[in-house]
Amino acid sequence: MEIKEVFKPKAIEEAIKLLDHYQEASKIIAGGTDLIISIREGKEPAPVIIDVSSIGEIKEINEIDEWIEIGAGTTFTNITEAAILQGRYQGLIDAAASVGSPQIRNAATIGGNICNASPAADFIPPLLALDSLLIIQSTDQIREVKLEDFLRDKGKVALSSNEILTKVKFKKLNKGQGLGFNKLGLRKALAISRICTAVYLEVSEDSKCNEMRIANGSLGRYGLREKAVEDYFKGRALTDDTIRIGGGLLKDEVNSRLQGRSSAEFKREAVDGVFTVALTKAIENCSHRKGDLI
Ligand SMILES: Cc1cc2nc3c(=O)[nH]c(=O)nc-3n(C[C@H](O)[C@H](O)[C@H](O)COP(=O)(O)OP(=O)(O)OC[C@H]3O[C@@H](n4cnc5c(N)ncnc54)[C@H](O)[C@@H]3O)c2cc1C
């Protein structure tokens, strides 16, 4: 189906009025790095395009009370340059820096990455590990939904045709808390991730794990939390032994999930190493200083 009209609203209010009017006939475009390909392949009938790339309100990164809020229109380049995210949130910066090429990172947005809901979306695991909430707006309401509940299946999210994702928010990280990310890609510059893992960690003063949240990409139909492995670590000291046992549990989980897939053997072997590096980075990012747990 041909594109018949393109709108370029400058404010959220304007965009949601257009969405309300055109409903299923319309499609939001942000960076276009996923959507243009789908339109070209005839997978996305979109006679009306609503280009949200000129809406300044959805490009901000702010600290508000105990929250960090990131606009859906923030590009991966913006993330890599955000001073606010350096240190404890380094996992977000590493995930953004691992996306595509410089040209892709200049255009591609975090909102597009989330709403496209590819199993290989690199920014979804770190946001899942941060237990992020999404802010979604329509003419009727502004609602908040957990990212975990928003992802429904491969390429499917809980978003109506009259809604726009405006921002993502998560709790600020404090002393003893940090986020790590690691990715095993196919090719260096334009890798769509084969496996990526994000680990949020909260350690106590005596170096025990108070809480761990692990999220993987490309190991299921969409980005997933690994709750059985998270439970294992709770209250345990982070030693070579516990990390080895936790990595083994993750291998078992992935193995049972990917049964029958041709990539299962490779992924089952690789997942443990990818996780261990992500966890080591989370430990470093908890402290801001290498080799010091808090
Ligand atoms: C060469 C190449 C390399 C790539 N490498 C990677 C990689 O390494 N890692 C990775 O994760 N991805 C990669 N991608 C995929 C892509 O760049 C990302 O998924 C990107 O984040 C999509 O963002 P976008 O702004 O371009 O989305 P768009 O293409 O504009 O939109 C994608 C989808 O999200 C919807 N959408 C966008 N914004 C909103 C919003 N605010 N509210 C509601 N719906 C919205 C659109 O309607 C559409 O359905 C690559 C793509 C290419 C072409």
pLDDT digit string, tens, across residues 124-179: 999 999 999 999 999 999 999 999 999 999 999 999 999 999 999 999 999 999 99
117 assigned to some structural domain: yes
In the prediction, which pLDDT does 290 show? 46
Which pLDDT band holds residue 261 (cuts at 50, 70, 90)? confident
Classified as helix, coil or strand, 251 is helix
Overall size of the chain counted in residues = 294
In a domain, 210, yes or no: yes
Q: Same domain for 60 and 167? A: yes
Q: Whole-angstrom Cα distance, residue 294 to residue 288?
A: 8
Question: Is residue 292 included in any domain, yes or no?
Answer: no
163 and 243 co-located in one domain: no
| CA of residue 237 to ligand 1 center, whole Å | 39
Cα 162 from Cα 159, distance rounded (Å): 8
Residue recorded with tokens 């001073």: 83
Domain count, the chain: 3
Question: What is the Cα 69 distance to its own chain's centre?
Answer: 14
User: How do strand 209-217 and strand 224-225 relate by DSSP bridges?
Assistant: antiparallel
Q: Are residues 164 and 189 in the same domain?
A: no
Alpha-carbon dihedral 125, 143, 84, 127, rounded to 10 degrees:
0
User: Quick one: 163 and 60 in the same domain?
Assistant: yes
For 18-73, the pLDDT digits (tens) are 999 999 999 999 999 999 999 988 888 889 999 999 999 999 999 999 999 999 99
* pLDDT tops 60 at residue 185: yes
Res 294 pLDDT > 50: no
**Ligand 1 atom 50: residue of nearest CA:** 100
Q: Which residue has the higher pLDDT, 59 or 193?
A: 59
Give dist(CA 280, CA 50) in Å, integer.
42
Do 104 and 201 lie in one domain? The reply is no
Burial label for 218, CB within 10 Å (0-12, 13-18, 19+), is: buried
The pick from 55, 115, 157, 190 for probing ligand 1's pocket by mutation, whose C-beta has the most ligand atoms within 8 angstroms, reads 115
Query: In this structure, are residues 29 and 73 in contact, taking their beta carbons and an 8 Å threshold?
Result: no
Whether residue 157 sits in one domain with residue 86: yes
Cα separations (Å) of 133 from 65, 75, 117, 128, 198?
15, 18, 15, 9, 17
Ligand 1 pocket check for 77: Cβ under 6 Å: no
Bridge partners, residue 151, by sequence: 157
Average the pLDDT over 256-281 and give the result: 86
